[in-house]
Amino acid sequence: MKNLHPFHLAIPVTSLEPSRTFYRETLGCEEGRSSDHWVDFNFFGHQLVIHIKEASEEISEKSNPVDGKDVPIPHFGVVLTMESFDALANALKKKGITFIIEPYTRFKGQTGEQATMFFKDPSGNALEFKAFKNADQLFAT
């Protein structure tokens, strides 16, 4: 994973201010440039941009089964260290976040064992944060 570069992701939000507050205060993302229609964030070292979307557009409520759980599609997030994952999970619990999938370890004892959690932002975008027991297994088959 040497030479890993930040990604850029732009997502739709239904209301700028609640989403801006969520990413800044709930997730602790540093706010960057903004306008009346979008806001940039430092999303754990990556560039996330929230954009106002048309009210008529809906966010998907589809899912796929993974390890006995219904994983929302689409979703996005970040792979953290186990220590950072635990700290974020504890902070989110203290802030009263409603989880789609509570923090837990999936694929226990298998290649790719990982801690994971899913929740939504105020506009219904699903986020996943995860941490691998063995970081070298991120892309293992």
Residue-range domain boundaries for the chain: 8-54+63-137
CATH superfamily, region 8-54+63-137: 2,3-Dihydroxybiphenyl 1,2-Dioxygenase, domain 1 (3.10.180.10)
Which pLDDT score, from 0 to 100, does residue 137 have? Answer: 87
Neighbour-count burial for 68-96, b at 16+ CB within 10 Å, e otherwise: ebebbeebebbbbeeeebeebbeebeeee
**Residues 6, 45: contact at Cβ < 8 Å?**
yes
**Residues 46, 33: contact at Cβ < 8 Å?**
no
pLDDT (tens place) for every residue of the chain, 141 residues total: 567 789 999 999 999 999 999 999 999 999 999 999 999 999 999 999 999 986 555 555 687 788 888 888 889 999 999 999 999 999 999 999 999 999 999 999 999 999 999 999 999 999 999 999 988 888 888
Which pLDDT score, from 0 to 100, does residue 34 have? Answer: 93
Which pLDDT score, from 0 to 100, does residue 73 have? Answer: 81
Which pLDDT score, from 0 to 100, does residue 138 have? Answer: 85
Which pLDDT score, from 0 to 100, does residue 10 have? Answer: 94
Which pLDDT score, from 0 to 100, does residue 133 have? Answer: 92
Question: In DSSP terms, which residues pair with 34 in a beta bridge?
Answer: 39
Provide the token pair at 2: 């040497």
